[in-house]
Chains A and B, each alone.
Chain A
Amino acid sequence: MTVELAVGNVSRAFGGVYAVRDVSLTVPAGELRAVIGPNGAGKSTLFALIGGQLAVDAGTVALDGVRVERRPAHRRGIGVVFQAARVFHGMTVRENVMVGAHAITRAGFLAAALRLPRHHRDERRIREQAMVCLDRTGLADWADRPAEELPLGRQRSLQLARALCGEPRLLLLDEPASGLRAGERELLSDLITRLRAEGLTMLLVEHDVAFVMRLADRITVLDLGRVIADGTPAEVRANPKVQTAYLGVRPDEPHLHARGVAE
């Protein structure tokens, strides 16, 4: 079910300024890859280029060798957890998660309007799938509450439940830990660890270095739209270029490293 993600020489400019320039990275199936970098490094742009929220100017995005960079977001089979809480208003938590199953079901307007058998079949499948995802993300008790009433941390879990409900081949997480309290952060990292153990390929864009150092298999470091380092957490931590770019300090000022990269 899960796939390899290959990004090849992807570029995207805004008004002549490159946000992402010639970025390549390959995430093998089942790997949890983190992308880190200082503000303005191009992390979120790269995320949107892979997810299909933005179009590439040049380069390729491939899932298991199949190029998807020209496909609209809804046809990529990629699950997405956005940084801004994008839960659907005026719908319950359960209904939000049910929307996630859209990609794996087919019933259309006619089937729905006339209550054809296909509608009932899909509806049953969607409900069951949603219940499983609600349970996994600890949201079952909130299922019938309006989604917008959830606290921020729960809204992030809700997005995750929604993404999982579509049985994604790749899961993108944009700063999932930002704005969460310590307890919520713990729950989130547990869940990500479990998904990783199940073999789901994940790409995690994160500002919080300590958070990704613990979770990620490998880390790609961006700065000013380019890849400046790529390796295991230990390799990245030791890389002087990363220390310079990420913390804005020179390697000859080692006392400042303690802030994040060196834990």
Chain B
Amino acid sequence: MNRWTIGAVAAVTLALPPLLPERHLATFVLLLLAATVTVGVSLLMGYAGQVSLGQASFYAIGAYAAALPAVHGVPTLLGLALAPVAAAVAAVLLGAPLLRLRGHHLAFATLAVQLILLSLLAQADWAGGAIGLQGVPRLTIVGVELRDVGYAYTAWLVLAAALLIARNVVDSRPGRALRAAATSETAAAASGVAVGRHRLAVFTLSAAMAGLAGGVYAFYLGYLSPGSFPVLLSIEFVVMAVVGGLGTIAGPVVGATVIVLLVQLLNTLGTLPGMPDYAPSVLSYAVYAVLLIVCVLYLPRGLAPALRLRRTADPNA
């Protein structure tokens, strides 16, 4: 993607928050946060060849790590800084045994981790239990308490940082090592790559991105419960990464935008008068399934590369 496209997208998204009505601003913030998590998922799946079906666990860990101290009076900015660190530490501890698994096994193991985390959270009274953690203070940066537009810009910065880091890592010594190991662990190891250590590092990095996004989420919503982090959310991140295009930097942003907008649209459609009560949830589940199947069948490389190819194929465009 060239500088002009990036500049235009940045300008439009920076101009947008003050213009959006409150309802759409919420969608915008959640979209940016989802895209941030998806950047990590895409790094993991697209470049390192690992699948995590439990990425929402790190989103949750980041959210709770930011919210719990803040509820007890710790400055909110410190809580936010703690979010990626807590998620990264959890990833190191979990990743050391889990990353010995490959493909489907790793996917199921990360899914199991999330189920375990959710049931532990539901029983943890100190974290609000199943009812949830209420009254999380709003984020205060240098004495200014953030309002909704402020969260939009915070989330924007967080996503921009994640994208920049992902781009930097992919085109570097450790990034090439990871991509190499995705084709052949044996050949990568013969080239001197400590495959296990690199995989753990990228797993940790992706968890830190999810954790930071989770931290912003906690302060933005002001309320957390285990129900905020369902398994469906983890699947959503994977679908966003695949639909947007694995192994691309822009893919997560494209994927998150498409999915969030579609889910919104179907939600509006599902709540129209005359629709059955279950319509919204059925429709939003359906969108993941249908999009994933369509994407794998017709756009196996995802939307972002498809858009790029169309542009280069048509000289007049």
Q: Which residues of A contact B (CB under 8 A)?
A: 51-53, 72-75, 77-80, 82, 86-91, 95-96, 98-105, 107-109, 111-115, 119, 122-123, 126, 159, 162-163, 166
Interface residues of B in 168-184 (CB under 8 A from A): 168-169, 172-177, 179-180, 182-184
A113 partner, pick from B169, B177, B186, B190, beta carbons under 8 A: B169
A74 with B193, Cβ < 8 A, contacts A107-B172, A112-B169, A113-B165 known: yes
Q: Mark B139-182, 1 if CB is under 8 A from A, else 0.
A: 00000000000000000000000000100110011111101101
Complex interface: chain B residues within 8 A of A77 (CB): 192
Q: Is the CB of B172 within 8 A of A119?
A: yes
A89 with B173, Cβ < 8 A, contacts A72-B189, A74-B195 known: no
A115 with B191, Cβ < 8 A, contacts A88-B183, A91-B179 known: no
Nearest chain B CB to A119's CB is how many angstroms away?
6
B224 at the interface (CB under 8 A from A): no
Nearest chain B CB to A188's CB is how many angstroms away?
18
Name which residue of chain B comes closest to A73, CB basis.
B189
A107 with B173, Cβ < 8 A, contacts A88-B180, A90-B183 known: yes
Question: Beyond the given A73-B190, A91-B176, A122-B173, could you list 20 further A-B residue pairs with CB under 8 A, ordered by the A residue number?
Answer: A51-B190, A52-B189, A72-B194, A74-B188, A74-B192, A74-B194, A80-B187, A82-B187, A88-B182, A88-B183, A90-B247, A98-B176, A99-B180, A102-B176, A102-B192, A107-B172, A109-B174, A112-B168, A113-B205, A162-B191
B201 at the interface (CB under 8 A from A): yes
User: How many interface residues does chain B have, given as a range?
Assistant: 20 to 34
Q: Determine the main DSSP class of A at the interface with B.
A: helix
Complex interface: chain B residues within 8 A of A112 (CB): 168-169, 172-175
Nearest chain B CB to A200's CB is how many angstroms away?
16
Nearest chain A CB to B236's CB is how many angstroms away?
25
Q: Is the CB of B173 within 8 A of A82?
A: no
Q: Is the CB of B168 within 8 A of A115?
A: yes
Complex interface: chain A residues within 8 A of B184 (CB): 86, 88
Q: Is the CB of A119 within 8 A of B173?
A: yes
